Structure 1
Amino acid sequence: MPRHNADIAAIFEEIANLLEIQDANPFRIRAYRNAARILNDHSRDVGTMLRKGEDLTCLSGIGKDLAAKIEEIVSSGHCSLLDRLHKKMPATIGDLLKIPGIGPKRVKALYHDLAVQTVEQLYRAARDGRIRELPGFGEKTELNILQSLEAHANQTQRFKLITAVQYAEALEQSLATVSGVSRVTIAGSYRRMRETVGDLDILVAAETSRPVIQHFIEYGEVNRILSAGATRASVVLECGMQVDLRVVKAESFGAALHYFTGSKSHNIAVRRIAQQKGLKINEYGVYRSDKQIAGQDEESVYAAVGLAYIPPELRENRGEVTLAQVGRLPQLVEQSDLRGDLHAHTNATDGHNSLREMALAAKSFGFEYLAITEHSRRLTVAHGLDPLQLSRQCAEIDKLNAEMDEITLLKGIEVDILEDGSLDLPDNVLAKLDLVVGAVHSKFDLSRARQTKRILRALEHPHFTMLAHPTGRLIQRRAPYDVDMARIIREARNRGCFLELNAHPERLDLLDTYCQMAREEGVLVSINSDAHSNHDFANLRFGIGQARRGWLEKDDVLNTRSLKALRQLLKQTM
């Protein structure tokens, strides 16, 4: 039975896909897609809201009909509309939509024109050269489909971090209620803040393991029990996620946490150092001969082998162990270091809240400033602003700034970088803004040389401030476009521009390795929410996790500066 926002969002996304394949009303399709996005982004659990008697229509974009369907799903575990749609379509159509690059529009054409209903039929159609004959496909698309099918066949199921959070936190809270439990921590790639999670590793400290194991296998979302022993158990949740539980004594909790957090290569590197010192390290502790000398907490584990404590996000064996030996690990950025957000939208374009509402939300989040960066006119699907509309918004910002205390709104734009590298708005308009955030929203399939040239030309623009979501990827939906990021980062350094780390959990863009590269080149990174509602600032936690994986310190991040210091840096790029 669906219990989390992600479950309900998945149902709405499936409804939108099936409606699109059936050529339904576009506005109806868009309503379900928007609802899915709102639910995925919303920080509060809507099931809890319903149990408290709250009206879901208070959520922007959720009307009475959608609110009623959410209530139906939460109470019954089903959506009657989805059931009706399934009866009209082959059951295997949904499998086609899981192939990267095969959206509902293409599935519609493949289904109606080639009678493709299964993944096997799709493969045969591509192999036989029949797909290229369809309008809007072509030989290149057919080849991409074949490559996607091959990649999909070899891919194990992984969940986006924001989805994993919903299941992990609920499980964590549930296990913490068991009598005798002193600590519960989610380990593995989840704790290392990887952008996707294959399964969950839960570690519990308790004197008696049996009540914990029993509570775990009887958890309401368990679909299948894989194993249940004296101190460990594995289950598969209804959402398809595997969860592995390990119960240990308090004196071994730190050693077990280190062991099950990983990564495997990091643990091997630490174990080798322990062996060189005549020590043995495992999930129960650090031992000299048969005597445990450390293990109650992770700090003691690292100290026992002569290492400074290494934060989980760094544990990928990328040089962190060597630096820990000499006490030169970076002091990683914290969410409390952020002084503002430099990428946000309002209902003037595709956001859901007013200018004032976004300002108040940023203020309550503890921010000193917020940049309003609507889309520019080229992005018609987002109702982008033309020069006159932007000018009107700037006047509204000036008026609001005169009224409000403790928060300052900055005037900006998320301007489209066109195919030739020019910007979507004229210089005389951009010159009046506090910052210009450039973004690629089209032509993702340009060659590496052309895509790189396009972005390099944009960076040369006299009013360019920051490159938004620099690789254009959408996790599990769209691969990064092919671009020479090393050249982009070096040119940003030469021009004094900045790079965004987009904290939206669908993006998490910059990649962690590019964050490291930017740090080494001295290019400041701005950790931005790309907020489209007043709840989206909560997503900054994911951006902070990505920044920490990328070794970023406070001084490496642009929006840890005060407003005064930020304005000085922005002036240098305008």
Structure 2
Amino acid sequence: MPGSPRASAGLPAVDNERIARVFEEIADLLELEVANPFRIRAYRNAARSVRGAESSLAALVLAGEPLPKLPGIGEDLAEKIQVISRTGTCPLLERLHGEVPAGQTELLHLPSIGPKRVRLLHQELGIDSLQDLQAALGNGRLARLHGFGPRLLTQLATALKARSASERRHLQPDARAQAEPLLRFVRGLEGVTDAQVAGSLRRRRDTIGDLDIVLCAEDASRVMATVLDYPPISEVMASGETRSSVRLDSGLQVDFRIVGRQSFGAALQYFTGSKAHGIALRRRARERGCKLNEYGLFRGDERLAGETEEGVYRALGLPWIVPELREDSGEIDAAERGALPHLVELRDLRGDLHCHTRDSDGSNSLRDMALAAQRLGWEYLAITDHSQHLNIAHGMDAERLARQLDEIDRVNEELDGLTLLKGCEVDILADGSLDLPDSLLERLDIVVGAVHGYFRLSAAQHTRRILRAMDSPWFTVLAHPTGRLLLERDAFAVDMRAVIRHARQRGCFLELNAQPQRLDLDEHYCRLAKEEGVLVSIASDAHRVFDFALLDYGVGQARRGWLERGDVLNTRSLAQLRSLLQRSR
């Protein structure tokens, strides 16, 4: 596809340290399972060998070059290095994640807590999570456990406090809701000629840790004093003439940076990040005998660029790179080759393939949803209420769904320019069967298969479950493929590479669910789907008419995943879509 990155650029960046950490994590999890000590030692030795390698193993793998001979790395571990280089993980690690309680895995990340102590905590005190550990620390039970002396208890208390602070993340809508009035406030201040959000919100990360605001003003000290008068500020954590950090009433931290006009573009680029992207740009500047920082691009005392971001990139021999791609995951190489993707935009969508009405757990009628879609100028909207297994969502049995299909026929006769597609969000049961009989599924235009339960299955079980569901001749789209709920529930264990490849073989599709607490697929799996030629449906999963606006979040995630218009299922016309849906059967 024109403008597509090379295959190797479409996957998460993996270095030797990442490969070594995967091997160490496997060793830790195997030790938790009391596996063969020689096997555990083999993975620990492999981690040391990988760290000692002189060349980037992932770079060799992606270039098709043979791996060097490393101590303790035989055929099996070499194969795992190849898989990790391409995916950032490996099936064994995913299987172990499915077998070991997630809370125990989190405990391993604390200082001085190895597998032996995690087992001891579980056996003696029944501690299987950070919350359990915090409670035992608070009530004194931990202090009575052999081997947990005052020094270790202090380390754990400090680590738990720091972890809690780092986990104060926010969903995009919450961060936006606080950024927008703040921007209006600072843009209205005397002396401020420009102000922009930078950081992870500008890059459209799925969750936001803090806000970064870059302001353009010449009298920085006077402007900063008025910035700090913003009423929702509950705490000024640090303040200076050109930079300050505050905490809002909501708990969200905001970092302000004020620069002059000649440095505004450089500062915006610098504080937008990501850190890895910035490091790569600064390295590129050094290779050209220059220095890049938040004030501009310099050769000696001469300022080469800084007023605009475009000028900074141009002076480095690159076109401007959109913020969503700035993760040092191939974008600089693609920019240098003139191969940056033409990313999908909200206006490219011709319809939505996942929404609910009050026939299941939605708030509006089928007709209301149709009219809202019609006002948006869409060509089609799939009605996909829940199937019967999801009782909590008032799922529909065969009789109720049949009645809804008749209603869709009636409403379609009245609509002008919009076609309602007959669909259902059908539960994928634990054994991989679908929740409705084939005799009803064959009447549908689209079957959106979804996992809504049995999340604790192993990676192998989840993978078999989903592949079997895909093998149904009526299966069309896999909804929210990893089941994650941001800040609430991790993705379930599943081999997404196998799922994506099976989707390609079957001719079915994957959903990028635009609900801000899902944004599922993540950007890495979006890129993998793109490379495998599997189209992605950006879907609102709307439960009310206003939810169609959530598609903007889905488009942002798709852009982070390098998706172009041609990679997205619902950029097709109705005729093209019908052809694709029919071909998947």
- Shorter-chain TM range is 0.7 to 0.9
Aligned partner (choices 182, 186, 193) of residue 175 of structure 1: 186
Deviates more, 1:201-210 or 1:345-354: 201-210
Q: Conserved in 1, the CA contact under 8 Å of 2:134 and 2:160?
A: no
SS of 1:535's equivalent? Answer: helix
1:551 maps to which residue?
A: 562
Q: CA deviation at 1:157?
A: 1.7
Q: CA deviation at 1:196?
A: 1.0
2:423 maps to which residue?
A: 412
1:365 maps to which residue?
A: 376
CA distance in 2, matches of 1:480, 1:127: 32
Aligned partner (choices 505, 508, 512) of residue 516 of structure 2: 505
Alignment of 1:330 with 2:344, yes or no, is: no
2:68 maps to which residue?
A: none
Tell me the alpha carbon deviations over residues 240-262 of structure 1, each in whole angstroms, 9 at most, x when there is no partner: 11101111112211111110000
Tell me the alpha carbon deviations over residues 260-282 of structure 1, each in whole angstroms, 9 at most, x when there is no partner: 00011111111111111112111
CA distance in 2, matches of 1:295, 1:151: 36
Aligned partner (choices 253, 259, 273) of residue 242 of structure 1: 253
Alignment of 1:395 with 2:406, yes or no, is: yes
Tell me the alpha carbon deviations over residues 184-233 of structure 1, each in whole angstroms, 9 at most, x when there is no partner: 11101111111111111001112332443123211111001122221222
CA distance in 1, matches of 2:403, 2:140: 51
Q: CA deviation at 1:541?
A: 1.3
Alignment of 1:346 with 2:357, yes or no, is: yes
Which AA in structure 2 matches 1:237? L
Q: Conserved in 1, the CA contact under 8 Å of 2:290 and 2:297?
A: yes
Aligned partner (choices 475, 478, 481) of residue 467 of structure 1: 478
Q: How many residues align?
A: 441
Show the 5 A alignment for 1:121-270. 121=135, 155-270=166-281
Q: CA deviation at 1:126?
A: 13
SS of 2:545's equivalent? Answer: coil
SS of 2:329's equivalent? Answer: coil
Q: CA deviation at 1:122?
A: 5.2
Which AA in structure 2 matches 1:121? A
SS of 2:255's equivalent? Answer: strand
Give the direction of change, closer, same or farther, for the CA distance of 1:124–1:502 in structure 2 (3 Å limit).
same
RMSD over equivalenced CA pairs, Å:
2.2
Tell me the alpha carbon deviations over residues 101-139 of structure 1, each in whole angstroms, 9 at most, x when there is no partner: xxxxxxxxxxxxxxxx997435689988xxxxxxxxxxx
Which AA in structure 1 matches 2:135? Q
Q: Conserved in 2, the CA contact under 8 Å of 1:178 and 1:211?
A: no
| TM-score between the two structures when normalised by the length of structure 1 | 0.74
Q: Conserved in 2, the CA contact under 8 Å of 1:123 and 1:149?
A: no
Which AA in structure 1 matches 2:502? E
Tell me the alpha carbon deviations over residues 114-170 of structure 1, each in whole angstroms, 9 at most, x when there is no partner: xxx997435689988xxxxxxxxxxxxxxxxxxx98996584321122211111111
Deviates more, 1:226-235 or 1:484-493: 226-235
Which AA in structure 2 matches 1:202? I
Alignment of 1:297 with 2:308, yes or no, is: yes
CA distance in 1, matches of 2:222, 2:539: 43
Tell me the alpha carbon deviations over residues 281-331 of structure 1, each in whole angstroms, 9 at most, x when there is no partner: 111111122111211111111110111211111111111111111111111
Q: CA deviation at 1:420?
A: 0.5
Q: CA deviation at 1:477?
A: 0.6
Deviates more, 1:285-294 or 1:302-311: 285-294
CA distance in 1, matches of 2:224, 2:454: 52
CA distance in 1, matches of 2:161, 2:530: 36
Q: CA deviation at 1:361?
A: 1.5
2:494 maps to which residue?
A: 483
1:572 maps to which residue?
A: 583
Q: Conserved in 1, the CA contact under 8 Å of 2:542 and 2:548?
A: yes
1:132 maps to which residue?
A: none
Alignment of 1:308 with 2:322, yes or no, is: no
2:462 maps to which residue?
A: 451
Aligned partner (choices 262, 273, 277) of residue 288 of structure 2: 277
Give the direction of change, closer, same or farther, for the CA distance of 1:210–1:150 in structure 2 (3 Å limit).
closer
CA distance in 1, matches of 2:179, 2:519: 20
Tell me the alpha carbon deviations over residues 476-495 of structure 1, each in whole angstroms, 9 at most, x when there is no partner: 11110000000000000000
Give the direction of change, closer, same or farther, for the CA distance of 1:151–1:254 in structure 2 (3 Å limit).
closer
Gaps of 5+ in 2: 1-105, 108-130, 143-158
Q: Conserved in 2, the CA contact under 8 Å of 1:231 and 1:248?
A: yes
Q: Conserved in 1, the CA contact under 8 Å of 2:362 and 2:543?
A: yes
1:52 maps to which residue?
A: none
SS of 1:507's equivalent? Answer: coil
Identity percentage of aligned residues:
55
Which AA in structure 1 matches 2:284? I
1:382 maps to which residue?
A: 393
CA distance in 2, matches of 1:520, 1:533: 34
CA distance in 2, matches of 1:509, 1:535: 20
Q: CA deviation at 1:514?
A: 0.3
Give the direction of change, closer, same or farther, for the CA distance of 1:123–1:391 in structure 2 (3 Å limit).
farther
1:522 maps to which residue?
A: 533
CA distance in 2, matches of 1:284, 1:494: 51
Give the direction of change, closer, same or farther, for the CA distance of 1:344–1:217 in structure 2 (3 Å limit).
same
Give the direction of change, closer, same or farther, for the CA distance of 1:276–1:500 in structure 2 (3 Å limit).
same
Which AA in structure 1 matches 2:468? R
Give the direction of change, closer, same or farther, for the CA distance of 1:485–1:125 in structure 2 (3 Å limit).
farther
Which AA in structure 1 matches 2:183? E
Give the direction of change, closer, same or farther, for the CA distance of 1:311–1:358 in structure 2 (3 Å limit).
same
Give the direction of change, closer, same or farther, for the CA distance of 1:180–1:366 in structure 2 (3 Å limit).
farther
Q: CA deviation at 1:466?
A: 0.3
CA distance in 2, matches of 1:123, 1:483: 34
Which AA in structure 1 matches 2:223? V
Q: Conserved in 2, the CA contact under 8 Å of 1:420 and 1:454?
A: yes
Which AA in structure 1 matches 2:229? E
Q: Conserved in 2, the CA contact under 8 Å of 1:365 and 1:537?
A: no
Give the direction of change, closer, same or farther, for the CA distance of 1:231–1:521 in structure 2 (3 Å limit).
same
| TM-score between the two structures when normalised by the length of structure 2 | 0.73
Point out which structure has higher relative CO (alpha carbons under 8 A, 6+ apart): 2
CA distance in 2, matches of 1:178, 1:214: 11
